[in-house]
Structure 1
Amino acid sequence: MAVEVVMPKLGMAMKEGTVSVWNKGVGDQVGKGEPIASVSSEKIEIDVESPAEGTVLQIAVSEGEGVPPGTVICYIGNPGEEIGESITTVKNQTPEVEKVAPTTENTAPTLQTKTPRDRVKISPVARKMAEAGGLNIEEINGTGPGGRITKEDVQEALKTSRSTQVEQNKEVDITSDKPLEEIEQIPVSGIRKVIAERMYDSLQKSAQLTLNMKVDVTNLMSLQKKTAETVQYRFDNKLTVTDFIARAVVLSLQQHQQMNSSYIDDKIHLFNHVHLGMAVALERGLVVPVIRNAERCTLIDLSRKIKELAQDARRAQLNSDDMQGSTFTISNLGAYGVEHFTPVINPPEAGILGVGAVYDTPVFIGEKVERRSILPLSLTFDHRILDGAPAAAFLQTVKQYLEDPITMLF
């Protein structure tokens, strides 16, 4: 009998998931465990694997469509099999959500018939590229297995199409020396769409202001080097500047509770615990894994958790719960050579700290000029929650910890 594949629940708070792309079409063969679609929630995107071997009988949810977890997104079975009322359900269905199975009044849904568009063998990525480039997929020569059109085939067809267009433009206006403008259109979907919506919403619904401050981290860099061998030997770890910054932020948030808060329903919610978000840049977009109860962590504990979460993020092993509930966020662009920048608040948090690149510069120490290492910090805060003075006081406390790093070891 046919097998239902449902929208998985990617975390306790997930209310809706979106099908980002279908890797298989109706009539395609699939193997057990083979990725058949990519789905995304508010902050995470994963591949949905086929729970059984068979044929895709029907696709119930289109690309870009959002549905509650537990909703049937497709059916897998034997070729020609009708989808009846008795259906095997996959185990990741959430019992509290009623499945939405396509039905009619008197008869079960019939197997979808293939249109000429469906009969063309083409990968989902290639299909999207062809549609964006205005190409007719029936005119593209496929070089993949069984004549399947691949991404490379579409790229080659686009090159040919553009060359033809250039020649046509030359024939129309041989006197024009303006180059042909080539525009590539990329659909905004999945994580990129979620980020776009959240950042726009953040700027529209909060009063954001950014303060910049420079911190002398010469002593911190020296302490890092002096303790490197001991830390490696005793804890099998390496302390980074980011680890020290995270520790300084956690200690400072405990002293400035207004910065460890959120603006929700016209009320300021002050938090006793620090749930620290650490922004991680991925190829698909930005994710913010959360270190819960960070105030209970030592510097070494914090360092380990930062590295573990960053590694999980790059391996796509984070779940939705790992990226929710942060009370303050750190975003580090120092690796890209950026000094000061304006980070955007991760709503509904009160603030976010932007970390720039450390640079060396001459500084007057009394009457002498010394070479010092300077760290630029940029604090964006919600002016609805606190004013400039308390925000500056928080940033000043972070600065004090970083300039006297020995105080963070105890």
Structure 2
Amino acid sequence: MAVEVVMPKLGMSMKEGTVSVWNKKVGEAVDKGESIASINSEKIEMEIESPAEGTVLDIKVSEGEGVPPGTVICYIGEANEQIEKKKEKEEKQKTAGKRIKISPAARKIAEGANVDIKTLEGTGPGGRITKADVLKALPDQQKQQTNEAEDPPVSMMRKTIASRMTESLQNSAQLTLTMKADVTKLTDLQHQLNETAKTRYDTKLTITDFAARAATLSLLEHPGMNSMYQDSRVTVFEHVHLGIAAALDHGLAVPVVRHAERLPLIELAKKIKWYGQKAREGKLLHDEIEGSTFTITNLGAYGVEHFTPILNPPETGILGVGKMYEAPVYKEGELCKSAILPLSLTFDHRALDGAPAAAFLAAVKNYLEDPAAILL
């Protein structure tokens, strides 16, 4: 009997998932656990694995089409197996006489080509008209022109990032402060600890790990930065749920290390790497990207020094870490070569004034310049 593959529910708040790309076509064989499609929802993109060995019998959701969790997106079974259509017929009967269901992409094409959608038969879930249904109704010449003129669909992740960043800039009073930390001692300590960290914990300590620990300790000392401004009130958090921005090929994810204040440096480093790996593999859940109270983003690997991070709403602050570089510095009257780490702090001026924000950033700088304090 054919197996249904459904759109998964990746978290309590997920309302819709979109098929980004199908890795298999109808009639192709698949192994159990093999990736058959990529889906995305808000800030998450992940691979869908086949629940069984067999053949792709039918694909119900087109690329770029969004459907609610639990919707059947394809069937897998034995070659030439007939799929039970009873559920689909019942769904179409229920939707008879109601509003026409059509995907946004399909509606746009239909309107541009003056196609009466009432004349179309939807092949999507619940009789929904898909882009493929509209294109099928067009003459060949018009179909080719439509395909050539159509822009590629924007992923759900990109739409969410665009919406949240626009909301962030429009609904907060953002200001960015910059400082430079002399991390010469920190880099020496990092080299000393990494051999032990690799041997004992199978991990290594990065600048991001030290910055995350320094920020966490500084948030405990300056709790006004560990807050949010909503409904004309400032809510200060006792816990530190640290968001760590992770760049992906198709967007950006911010997994959250919960209760970072309870974690020593090595455990914090392991958590950051674990979530980063999950983000790159597309295995983050919605619950793992929600609830952060402060965020760190590092663009040092791209050669960027100071920059202006955009707040991750509704947080009050976000710390940007730039590329470390060497510079001559006078120390006790002598010119020395030092390692300099640029820091950029964007904060919401509605929740916090410039002086306490600067005090927080100075605390981060002091921890990075006195790394022994991070360990104790």
Partner of residue 85, structure 2: 83
Kindly state the Cα deviation for residue 241 of structure 1 after the two structures are TM-superposed.
1.9
Contact 1:32–1:49 under 8 Å retained in 2: no
Q: Residue 350 of structure 2 is aligned with which of 366, 384, 387? A: 384
Please give the per-residue CA displacement for 1:237-286, whole angstroms capped at 9, x wherever unaligned: 42222211111000001111121112334432221111111111121111
Partners of 2:237 and 2:264 in 1: CA distance:
20
Structure 1 residue runs without a partner (length 5+): 88-99, 119-128, 136-184
Contact 1:30–1:50 under 8 Å retained in 2: no
Partners of 2:217 and 2:93 in 1: CA distance:
61
Letter matched to residue 221 of structure 2? Q
| Identity across matched positions, percent | 57
Mean Cα deviation higher: 399-408 or 200-209? 200-209
Partner of residue 319, structure 1: 285
Kindly state the Cα deviation for residue 76 of structure 1 after the two structures are TM-superposed.
5.7
- What is the TM-score of this pair, normalised by structure 2? 0.77
After superposition, residues 9-408 of structure 1 pair within 5 angstroms as 9-23=9-23, 28=27, 31=30, 33=32, 35-51=35-51, 53-54=54-55, 56-57=57-58, 59=60, 61-74=61-74, 81=83, 83-85=85-87, 102-104=91-93, 133=148, 186-408=152-374
Are the structure 2 counterparts of residues 268 and 73 from structure 1 closer, same or farther at C-alpha, using a change threshold of 3 Å? farther
Partners of 2:147 and 2:354 in 1: CA distance:
47
Partners of 2:63 and 2:199 in 1: CA distance:
51
Kindly state the Cα deviation for residue 364 of structure 1 after the two structures are TM-superposed.
2.3
Partners of 1:236 and 1:76 in 2: CA distance:
40
Kindly state the Cα deviation for residue 105 of structure 1 after the two structures are TM-superposed.
5.5
Kindly state the Cα deviation for residue 337 of structure 1 after the two structures are TM-superposed.
1.4
Please give the per-residue CA displacement for 1:48-69, whole angstroms capped at 9, x wherever unaligned: 344454554462x554443332
Contact 2:178–2:343 under 8 Å retained in 1: yes
Partner of residue 139, structure 2: none
SS at match of 2:93: coil
Partners of 2:366 and 2:317 in 1: CA distance:
19
Please give the per-residue CA displacement for 1:118-137, whole angstroms capped at 9, x wherever unaligned: 7xxxxxxxxxx9976459xx
Are the structure 2 counterparts of residues 23 and 224 from structure 1 closer, same or farther at C-alpha, using a change threshold of 3 Å? closer
Contact 2:326–2:339 under 8 Å retained in 1: yes
Kindly state the Cα deviation for residue 115 of structure 1 after the two structures are TM-superposed.
7.6
Q: Report how many aligned residue pairs link the two structures.
A: 335
C-alpha RMSD of the superposition:
3.4
SS at match of 2:186: helix
Structure 2 residue runs without a partner (length 5+): 97-120, 125-131, 137-143
Kindly state the Cα deviation for residue 333 of structure 1 after the two structures are TM-superposed.
0.9
Are the structure 2 counterparts of residues 367 and 50 from structure 1 closer, same or farther at C-alpha, using a change threshold of 3 Å? closer
Are the structure 2 counterparts of residues 111 and 16 from structure 1 closer, same or farther at C-alpha, using a change threshold of 3 Å? closer
Letter matched to residue 45 of structure 2? E
Partners of 1:101 and 1:19 in 2: CA distance:
24
